[in-house]
Amino acid sequence: MKRPIKAACFAVVAAGILMSAASAQQKAPFSLKNKSVKVYVTEKGTDNRMTKTGTLNFEAKPQPVETEVAVFVDPSKTFQTMLGIGGALTDASAETFYKLPKDKQKEILTAYYDKTKGIGYTFGRTNIQSCDFSSDTYSYVKDGDKALKTFDISHDKKYRIPFIKEVIAAAGGKLTMFVSPWSPPGWMKTNNDVLHGGTLKKGFDQSWANFYIKFINAYEKQGIPIWGLTVQNEPMATQTWESCLYTAEEERDFVKNFLGPTLQKSGMAGKKLIVWDHNRDLMYQRVSTILEDPAAAKYVWGVGYHWYETWTGAGMNFENERLVHQTFPSKNLVFTEGCAERYDATKLDDWSLGEKYGYSMINDFNAGTVAWTDWNVLLDEKGGPNHVGNFCFAPVHADTKTGAVTFTNSYYYIGHFSKFIKPGARRIASSASRDKLLTTAYMNPDGKIAVVVMNKNDEKIDYLLWIKGKAAKVTSAPHSIATLIVE
């Protein structure tokens, strides 16, 4: 018996040594030895679109002076982990997709989801029942069916489900998907209308909570895994399209008393439940009301938000999301929707489309956001289809009559993040010495650093990419975005 005991002791000691070595290796300070910088640029007035424009070397630079512009990166200071970046797979996107020739369909799938040839989307959202970006208003149950015995997703099997399956295959067999309702069936609401706001009728809370479970089960039976869900898309907006209103207290109580417990009882406690799913302006008030109640907060994984607070004429309110993150650090921030509104075909080449994305994404990630979701991945030549005329821009538009596909510069701006910052990457400290440059940075799981630098001004800016006493000289062109890969 002694020899096996000695052998076991030796194994334990050896394992301890290996673990210590691994731990020491993980804690080893970042080194720039034998590393250079590959520069990828998208630039107004040129053909550069995520184009590799050069490889730069680091030189000793102990202390920059105040007259030198610099982007300082500190790999030793880490923050949130990237979950993923992607877009919404709506009825409109699916219908547009299947009106195109097969070669154009493949081009779009590759452009979005191929990790090498495309921009490597890994995250997605889809709608529960119809939304504005559907060709019609529809429900999965017949009127008055409170028990949901008639629940049927046949409508989605024509376009949306096949489309999502093709997307998952193009993404390598895995896509992190969450789902959102725009409205319960009209007969469940106080206005008896699926459109125009209204609220959930008393006595229908449990039936509506069961509806989410039915939807998730139905999609998963179709081979579409659902990672998470939001409670309600834009719960403070009375829209001409599908919409339903909740006050903060009503959303809190629905989560606490119905949706949260129903997810648990249905074996779906692991699904990530996201509250709010609306603009940044009311974000803190909504989230604090819900999360200050422990009985509701225990069911909540994260907070979703949109960027449309600008409809009031104000700018994007990043301070509100930063405050939510600081106050409730155990909950995760997710950008759940954003797009350029009021489609105009003459503005498909407008450079401000992409700059809006870059501006938001950099600030959102720096505020603590773990995942970022664009709205429709694909729309047609009219900015639809949309059953209420709420036509919008998408990063990619297709002319369903000619088959022509247009990639706006929004696609490339998003790609500067989604292609180079992988799921599992940790955000690291990155700051610019001038406010004319915007920056965020991540350490990827493979050890490569991705630094995004955006210049939305009219002048060229020379700067130093400075990391722990060494720097590489970089030039930021006017109205450009660059991803710098340190490897």
End-to-end CA distance of the chain: 52
Domain membership flag for residue 9: no
| Residue 332 sits in the same domain as residue 239 | yes
pTM over cut 0.85:
yes
| Residue 278 sits in the same domain as residue 226 | yes
Domain membership flag for residue 16: no
- Counting the structural domains of the chain, the total is 2
Compute the average pLDDT of residues 191-200.
98
| Residue 432 sits in the same domain as residue 396 | no
The pLDDT > 70 percentage for the chain reads 94
Whole-number Å distance between alpha carbons of 125 and 421: 19
Domain boundary among 401, 423, 445: 423
* DSSP SS3 for 205: helix
Domain membership flag for residue 134: yes
Residue 27 has a pLDDT of: 60
Domain membership flag for residue 2: no
Tell me, letter by letter, the H, E, C secondary structure of 396-463.
EEECCCCCCEEECHHHHHHHHHHCCCCCCCEEEEEEECCCCEEEEEEECCCCCEEEEEEECCCCCEEE
Domain boundary among 423, 439, 464: 423
Domain membership flag for residue 374: yes
| Residue 451 sits in the same domain as residue 356 | no
Rounded to an integer, what is the distance from CA 75 to the centroid of its chain? 23
Q: How confident is the model at residue 256 (pLDDT cuts 50, 70, 90)?
A: very high
Residue 5 has a pLDDT of: 37
Asked if pLDDT for residue 213 goes beyond 90, the answer is: yes
Residue 6 has a pLDDT of: 41
Each residue's pLDDT tens digit, 87-145: 999 999 999 999 999 999 999 999 999 999 999 999 999 999 999 999 999 999 999 99
- Supply the mean pLDDT for the chain: 95
- Return the CATH number at 401: 3.20.20.80
Residue 28 has a pLDDT of: 72
Compute the average pLDDT of residues 62-67.
94
Pick the catalytic residue from 107, 234, 242, 251: 234
- Return the CATH number at 54: 2.60.40.1180
| Residue 377 sits in the same domain as residue 456 | no
| Residue 156 sits in the same domain as residue 274 | yes
Domain membership flag for residue 25: no
List the domain range (segments joined by +) for residue 371. Answer: 84-423
Whole-number Å distance between alpha carbons of 258 and 252: 10
Q: Are strands 470-476 and 369-376 parallel, antiparallel or unpaired?
A: unpaired
| Residue 454 sits in the same domain as residue 316 | no
Domain membership flag for residue 470: yes
Each residue's pLDDT tens digit, 16-53: 444 444 444 456 788 999 999 999 999 999 999 999 99
Compute the average pLDDT of residues 349-371.
98
Judge whether 355 counts as a catalytic residue: no
Residue 22 backbone zone (phi > 0: left; psi -120 to 50: alpha; other: beta): alpha
Domain boundary among 372, 407, 423: 423
| Residue 97 sits in the same domain as residue 68 | no
Domain membership flag for residue 169: yes
Compute the average pLDDT of residues 8-17.
42
| Residue 191 sits in the same domain as residue 223 | yes
Judge whether 68 counts as a catalytic residue: no
| Residue 48 sits in the same domain as residue 95 | no
Pick the catalytic residue from 166, 321, 337, 355: 337
Asked if pLDDT for residue 393 goes beyond 70, the answer is: yes
Asked whether the CA dihedral 431, 434, 439, 445 is positive or negative, the reply is negative
Whole-number Å distance between alpha carbons of 110 and 455: 28
| Residue 416 sits in the same domain as residue 327 | yes
| Residue 344 sits in the same domain as residue 473 | no
Residue 454 has a pLDDT of: 98
Compute the average pLDDT of residues 173-177.
98
Residue 448: both structure tokens together: 């490569």
Asked if pLDDT for residue 295 goes beyond 70, the answer is: yes
